[in-house]
Structure 1
């Protein structure tokens, strides 16, 4: 007789939760070259629920960020703002192949209004203004041992929502603007959504490259079949997380966006005017506390 012991429970889910708080501060006392006292706080949350069993793989990730800067002599300003949820379901023919038939859902928006500082009267973005929804099918290459993921979709629906009616009337983020007659009377309100069908390619790589240094790279390319095919929207995020100890980490990050539908603004005289699309760049350097559970 052979006695065997079975585990109390078998789970195919992998759960990860991470909360972080980065704080940076600068203060001056009798500083001859001048400067303003300031404090910047950035809160972050990363939550994942991943299922893997046999030929099935289902990855879910929620990313949250919100940052504020308080500077002497200025109103409180927002430095970062993100709500991003991604869910990818995949099926493969056998347990050897790294290629999956996949469906991907992605949702991206923000918590609060954004402004072209120092103007804090007229918002240039807000919750669900914009919100981006991607839903598509394709093929995905997954190497969890390498931290590598490549997703290729020849058929992806992209929906842009602009639920702030003032921004929708301006035609912000590519929606159709309001139409007025020659006397300035409103004939048709701006549309609050825009739908596109196109190609989506994403790649992510997350792996420890040196002792206590984690590399997190994510990039996506999207082009619409009908509207300016070949004009590619790019979203690239690059981050290095450096572990000091169990709770303290430093990080360096870079975020680059190019979207032909997002028009930049410039201050001309006393007015903020809209110009053509430009490369958007955000650089981050932080030291803070992290709690993983």
Structure 2
């Protein structure tokens, strides 16, 4: 019930704030491409500070690449999300703060107003080994392609705009991959390197403007495995809030939560806040 309540809250909140767009009088673009680079820097320094504190330096780099294609009844959206972050703590060395690579591709054939027959593909993993530093010595908890998730399946897509869509795929195949070191974890049986599952997948994306110079982006994914405890939903939700300072500077807030019993028995949560450089390195529209 806790997971279902959280799911309903997330869907209602994103739908409530989604704003209606005026009909565009211009021709519908055939290609819309946007590549965005973001760098967020944080630094703390203490000298003879009686309250205490540790000197830290942290940097976080993110690259988002969006490709939107439209022609007659065909709609094809591809999004690449990748990021890496490090922090340096005085006396403790470097530690990861962010590590992500995700590819989403969604092909739709129009079947009605705002509705499409769809086929989606999702692949996600991380670049480098991660550790649980609460253990002594630190315990490895992930690595490149360990785990890696590949999901694909047919479904129905509701899409009002490039900034507002929900895809429902009731027959989604998912392949979980790990190295020999992590065999027996992430839902993979001991001695195996892969695990197959078949289930229900819901993915939604909403981006909207709350007020002038304040933009919110919300990405929600829900998965239920028919073959293994379907009542245990895997839920991932990331909300990005951007406060525009000028053309190239923005304040960034990220709230990222994950519920996945195969990865951890507890809710995973990541938060990022900082002033960052925002640069669109590839922006193109063709008709």
TM-score normalised by length of structure 2: 0.85
Higher-RCO chain (CA-CA 8 Å, sequence separation at least 6): 2
Residue of 127, 130, 139 corresponding to 1:111: 127
Structure 2: state its 5+ residue gaps. 1-27, 282-287
Aligned mates of 1:191, 1:93 — CA distance in 2: 41
* Matching residue of 1:144: 161
* Matching residue of 1:162: 178
* Matching residue of 1:130: 147
* Matching residue of 2:273: 285
Q: Point out the structure with max Rg over C-alpha.
A: 1
Residue of 187, 190, 195 corresponding to 1:174: 187
Structure 1: state its 5+ residue gaps. 1-9, 178-189, 264-276
TM-score normalised by length of structure 1: 0.83
Q: Is the 8 A contact 2:242 2:253 kept in 1?
A: yes
Q: Is the 8 A contact 2:133 2:139 kept in 1?
A: no
- Following TM superposition, where does structure 1 have runs of at least 4 consecutive aligned residues deviating by more than 3 angstroms? 118-122
* Matching residue of 1:247: 248
- Would you say how many aligned residue pairs link Structure 1 and Structure 2? 253
Q: Does residue 1:64 correspond to 2:82, yes or no?
A: yes
Change (3 A) 1:149 1:120: farther
Q: Per-residue deviation at 1:121?
A: 5.6
Aligned mates of 2:29, 2:159 — CA distance in 1: 20
C-alpha RMSD of the superposition: 1.5
**SS of the residue 2:53 aligns to:** coil
Aligned mates of 2:251, 2:83 — CA distance in 1: 16
Aligned mates of 1:176, 1:36 — CA distance in 2: 41
Aligned mates of 2:102, 2:263 — CA distance in 1: 19
1:230-256 residue CA offsets vs partner (Å, 9 max, x unmatched)? 211000111101110011111111111
Q: Is the 8 A contact 2:249 2:278 kept in 1?
A: yes
1:94-129 residue CA offsets vs partner (Å, 9 max, x unmatched)? 6xx100000000000001000011556642100110
Once the two structures are overlaid, the 10-residue window that deviates more, 43-52 or 119-128, is 119-128
1:16-58 residue CA offsets vs partner (Å, 9 max, x unmatched)? 0101110000101111111111001001100111101111000
1:131-157 residue CA offsets vs partner (Å, 9 max, x unmatched)? 011101100000117x21111111000
Q: Per-residue deviation at 1:215?
A: 0.6
Q: Per-residue deviation at 1:93?
A: 3.3
1:41-78 residue CA offsets vs partner (Å, 9 max, x unmatched)? 00110011110111100000101110000011102100
